[in-house]
Structure 1
Amino acid sequence: MGNDGHIRRQRRPGQLRRPCGALLALTLAGGLLLTGCAASDDGHSIDGSNKSRGSYGSGGGTGQWPVPAPDQSSDTSQGEQTGDANREIAPSPDYLSTFALDVDTASYGYARRTLADGRLPDPATVRPEEFVNSFRQDYERPDGNGFSVTVDGARTDEEDWSLVRVGLATRTAEQQGERPPAALTFVIDISGSMAEPGRLDLAKDSLGVMTDRLRDDDSVALVTFSDEAETVLPMTRLGDHRGRVHDAIDGLEPTESTNLGAGVDTGYETAVEGLRKGATNRVVLISDALANTGDTDADSILERISDARREHGITLFGVGVGSEYGDDLMERLADKGDGHTTYVSNEGDARKVFSEQLPQNVDLTARDAKAQVAFDPATVQQFRLIGYDDRQVADEDFRDDRVDGGEVGPGHTVTALYAVRTRPGASGHLATASVRWLDPDSRTPHEESGQLETGSLDDGLWSAPTRFQVDAVAAYFADALRTGDNRWNPLPGALPLHELADRAHRVATTTEDTQVRDLANAIEQASELAG
């Protein structure tokens, strides 16, 4: 669909050609018929063998391995048993994968900080999509508001396995033109733990940078919290008042415990009181998220401020700091607060987030954005979405605009990688990727799609375009870091960390990209720590 507010309707390739198991036919908006089969989540392969429970799951994109589908000529029905009376042949998988878009990068930033401190990150804090989305992409940008869709892939050195990339991009801030004014409520953690170098001092420097970068018609409010929360500065139009904002920032000092719930509550109250129509209203939470007083449950905190989110459209931008960091709490707050998170460990990171990437983190291009990839069962035998484990959306909810998606700003890119096993000798259509989003002002729905054929797959992963290689390295790195969590099997084509570091250094030399060089160094550190 173009950017004129109307859905571009197209026939979706990849319908199942024959019924299998329990057939699900969903007639969705626009008359599209998407057909898929219920998927097993019990860890059984199609031949009845049991492959380590939790490692092989449904094809709906749970981040685990779907079971392979039967050959098209197979008439095996669901429930047919093999020699083991308690083991049933699993039905073929659903060939749809649906997820909410995510532009978070905090997981990668915190992993780098942890490695620099001489520790391997906790596997539970490693989210592969945030590693991949931390790097610059070269996707074509759309002509208008919304997204471009790029779908490409490359074969790995494991037989029949490829990495497939779905790349989405919005127009840059320069292309989009002047953004609306911003009304930003900064919620600053001033608890005792923020006294550590690289926490409150970094937050104050970041706020100072952002205050200088904002426009005269932007507004700023300042809320602090420790054991209690306080509105230090009500919503103030910058204009001639920048000095007042800087004075409030300079006066921040660490004290006492961390009542993050009170901070968020007061922050949203202040944002609602200072709400500006026609502006981008956003709460910016800067914290180590080590809540130890008051309400520490993300669901409970956000339930209390749900009206501000739903009725007033006030989104949450979480900025994490500190060598010890409450990753899970910040991630859940941002996901449920219709926003995103990043992590800053030094002054360079802070200036990048609050200065260079200011339009991305302030303005909105799309609300409730979701992606759906339809794999063609004639060519695809098995697939796994790499990451997005907590961003899954039911396939039938792709076009239900009441279902929450992700918020994306100008100049953002979103990348999703899949490990895809094609049928031996298969050729033809492989996948169709679609993105759906709502206009942030009118809430009009839009869609755009892209397709991939097997003949378009690059013959070798390490001869693919350079930016594709960067994405592959980042995904393999994240996958290696979380293999300590026994839910995950290594990705096809995975390399030992020392070999992956070599690959990363080669790519860094080709790109002359310091961020890729930092990635290579982080992989080296992980390799040394892992022994």
Structure 2
Amino acid sequence: MKLSGKTYRGVLAAMLAGGMLLTAGCGAGGSHSDGSKSSSKGGGGGGYNGPLPAPAQPTGAADTDRANGADGEQKDIAPTPAPDYLSTFALDVDTASYGYARRTLADGKLPAADTVRPEEFVNSFRQDYKRPDGNGFTVTVDGARTGGDGWSLVRVGLATRGQAEGAERAPAALTFVVDISGSMGESSRLDLVRDSLGVLTDQLRDDDSIAIVTFSDRAETRLPMTRVKDHRNRIHDIVDSLEATDSTNLEAGIRTGYDVAVEGHRKGATNRVVLLSDALANTGETSADKILKRIDGARRDHGITLFGVGVGSDYGDALMERLADKGDGHTTYVASRAEARKVFCDQLPANIELTARDAKAQVAFDPQTVQQFRLIGYDNRKVADKDFRNDGVDGGEVGPGHTVTALYAVRLREGAGGHVATASVRWLDPEDRAPHEQSGMVETDALQNTLWSETSTRLQVAALAAYFADELRGRSLPSAPSLSELADRAEVLANTSEDSQVRDLATAIKEANGLKG
């Protein structure tokens, strides 16, 4: 039965008055055969536009922070589930952590634990989520059992509509901030950057604009904001002339880059700074927060976003990731010309355009059915639960064709059935900043299948990536396979899926297993 907003509020009031327990997602929504439901609302839309009801806080003592694994061994599953059974985080489409880990493993070394971010491993892989017909997101919530100990893996999938081939898009005004410091001369890093910029120059339209700023010990504007039309050869000449010189004054490069972007700002265009660097800052200000503070007005007043492209076997991962998070953007990492072409050709619209600003997700677990839960990754993207609908709190920026996946280790209460969780995403329209929301829910019926034998290939790949990342961080998820077991499962998936990305994952897991012995 679908209730009107007025009737819905009346039912809620009656339930509260009668002392009944409210669970997330008890509003109306279209049902799906997999046990999930979805609903949506946006600013000014019809129907009920009030807050989605969240689960009531659990009563009694908090659940323990440890649980028995499949082998009976005690395993840490910190952090303790939130007492209100809510989990809130800013969306993240970064993939640099996975790319850098693959590069490090290929060089015969294990990546440092603090450079491994599970969400970036998971979000590096294609998913099979339904796409929305218009702007905004779809919300898919599903999962599977991971063992006989009550643990399941719940997948929250968010997807934006991709750009159709030949479709119109807003013109782009891109300011390239290129690192030409001495370290960029090592291992053909600058060659890779030159090739990347050359490919991009050929991909852009005549009505797009490009500016180029280089930096080493100081920053220099090599090309002011210039329309691509009739200037492609000039742009290529500047790109081809780039040579490595001295130290790395990243602050000077960023500051000058944003000055150029503001001066060349185009109304109605996608205005973005693209930083290409190994992020090994050693001159000037080296703190991401202090660097960004100096250009905060450009971000806030002009809506200029940052896209970070990392290169190099020695790579300032933490600095680049912090710059992108605080610079309203995202990062990727390229280690080869093939990867550069993928970023600047195949994924060009997703990397220069915006579908959503300040996007956040909130998952409300039902304490009647859920005993414990843990979000895998997103450690530095967490948002206070109360700030989910506070549009002044920073979220993530998402482009067309992106998918965002969040995986949860969830332990159900013995014998429990029914509603498990409701996932909601909130975002601002990039043009008028109007808020919108979309929701989906999952019930216990959707978690009956076992992960490795009865679920989709895409869910299994996401699980592999998450378990692999957690293993590299030296942690242990409930019911997690060993690294050698992950290597075997990855090999099978690579063969059955015939997916080159899964083959690369299988290779990385095999390399890590060999290094760990």
**Shorter-chain TM-score range:** 0.7 to 0.9
The one-letter amino acid paired with 2:293 is E
| Partner deviation per Cα, 1:435-472 (whole Å, 9 max, x = no partner) | 00000000000000000000111420012111000000
State the superposition RMSD in angstroms: 2.2
| Partner deviation per Cα, 1:89-147 (whole Å, 9 max, x = no partner) | xxxx2200000000000000000000000000000000000000000111000011000
Q: CA deviation at 1:42?
A: 11
Of 125, 129, 136, the match for 1:139: 129
The one-letter amino acid paired with 2:432 is S
C-alpha distance in structure 1 between counterparts of 2:64 and 2:320, whole Å = 31
The one-letter amino acid paired with 1:367 is R
Structure 1 residue 466 corresponds to structure 2 residue 454: no
Partner of 2:515: 529
The equivalences for 1:445-524 within 5 A come to 445-463=435-453, 464-483=455-474, 489-524=475-510
C-alpha distance in structure 2 between counterparts of 1:164 and 1:280, whole Å = 35
C-alpha distance in structure 2 between counterparts of 1:498 and 1:309, whole Å = 46
The one-letter amino acid paired with 2:393 is V
Of 241, 250, 254, the match for 2:244: 254
Contact in 2 for aligned 1:149/1:167 (Cα 8 Å): yes
Q: CA deviation at 1:216?
A: 0.4
C-alpha distance in structure 2 between counterparts of 1:456 and 1:119, whole Å = 40
| Partner deviation per Cα, 1:270-313 (whole Å, 9 max, x = no partner) | 00000000000000000000000000000000000000000100
Structure 1 residue 6 corresponds to structure 2 residue 45: yes
C-alpha distance in structure 2 between counterparts of 1:7 and 1:411, whole Å = 27
Partner of 1:188: 178
| Partner deviation per Cα, 1:54-80 (whole Å, 9 max, x = no partner) | 9633424xxxxxxxxxxxxxxxxxxxx
Identity %, equivalent residues = 70
Structure 1 residue 317 corresponds to structure 2 residue 290: no
The equivalences for 1:108-507 within 5 A come to 108-174=98-164, 177-463=167-453, 464-483=455-474, 489-507=475-493
| Partner deviation per Cα, 1:415-442 (whole Å, 9 max, x = no partner) | 0000000000110000000000000000
* Deviating more after overlay: 357-366 vs 1-10: 1-10
Q: 3-state SS of the aligned residue for 2:424?
A: strand
Partner of 1:57: 79
Partner of 1:85: none
Q: Closer, same or farther in 2 for the Cα pair 1:138/1:395, shift >3 Å?
A: same
Q: Closer, same or farther in 2 for the Cα pair 1:15/1:245, shift >3 Å?
A: closer
Q: How many residues align?
A: 472
Q: 3-state SS of the aligned residue for 1:407?
A: strand
Partner of 1:33: none
Partner of 2:59: 20
| Partner deviation per Cα, 1:12-64 (whole Å, 9 max, x = no partner) | 8875557637xxxxxxxxxxxxxxxxx9799689xxxxx9999633424xxxx
C-alpha distance in structure 2 between counterparts of 1:370 and 1:187, whole Å = 29
Contact in 1 for aligned 2:279/2:316 (Cα 8 Å): yes
Q: CA deviation at 1:492?
A: 1.6
Q: 3-state SS of the aligned residue for 1:199?
A: helix
The one-letter amino acid paired with 2:142 is D
Contact in 2 for aligned 1:14/1:375 (Cα 8 Å): no
Q: Closer, same or farther in 2 for the Cα pair 1:130/1:176, shift >3 Å?
A: farther
Q: Closer, same or farther in 2 for the Cα pair 1:43/1:476, shift >3 Å?
A: closer
C-alpha distance in structure 2 between counterparts of 1:516 and 1:215, whole Å = 33
Q: CA deviation at 1:322?
A: 0.1
C-alpha distance in structure 1 between counterparts of 2:237 and 2:124, whole Å = 33
Contact in 2 for aligned 1:176/1:410 (Cα 8 Å): no
Contact in 1 for aligned 2:98/2:121 (Cα 8 Å): yes
Q: 3-state SS of the aligned residue for 1:232?
A: strand
The one-letter amino acid paired with 1:411 is G
The one-letter amino acid paired with 2:456 is P
TM-score (norm. length: structure 2) = 0.88
Q: Closer, same or farther in 2 for the Cα pair 1:231/1:143, shift >3 Å?
A: same
C-alpha distance in structure 2 between counterparts of 1:8 and 1:152, whole Å = 26
C-alpha distance in structure 1 between counterparts of 2:367 and 2:499, whole Å = 39
C-alpha distance in structure 1 between counterparts of 2:163 and 2:418, whole Å = 38
The one-letter amino acid paired with 2:511 is Q
Partner of 2:36: none
Contact in 1 for aligned 2:57/2:85 (Cα 8 Å): no
Q: 3-state SS of the aligned residue for 1:111?
A: helix
| Partner deviation per Cα, 1:374-401 (whole Å, 9 max, x = no partner) | 0000000000000000000000000000
Q: 3-state SS of the aligned residue for 1:196?
A: helix
The one-letter amino acid paired with 1:320 is G
Q: CA deviation at 1:496?
A: 1.4
Contact in 2 for aligned 1:115/1:121 (Cα 8 Å): yes
C-alpha distance in structure 2 between counterparts of 1:7 and 1:369, whole Å = 22
Q: Closer, same or farther in 2 for the Cα pair 1:461/1:13, shift >3 Å?
A: farther
Q: CA deviation at 1:11?
A: 8.4
Partner of 1:70: none
Unaligned segments of structure 1, at least 5 residues: 22-38, 46-50, 61-92, 484-488
| Partner deviation per Cα, 1:158-179 (whole Å, 9 max, x = no partner) | 4100000000000001189411
Contact in 2 for aligned 1:139/1:169 (Cα 8 Å): yes
C-alpha distance in structure 1 between counterparts of 2:144 and 2:315, whole Å = 36
Q: 3-state SS of the aligned residue for 1:210?
A: helix
Contact in 2 for aligned 1:285/1:319 (Cα 8 Å): yes
Q: CA deviation at 1:498?
A: 1.6
Q: CA deviation at 1:196?
A: 1.3
C-alpha distance in structure 2 between counterparts of 1:101 and 1:15, whole Å = 20
Q: CA deviation at 1:509?
A: 1.6
Unaligned segments of structure 2, at least 5 residues: 1-39, 68-72
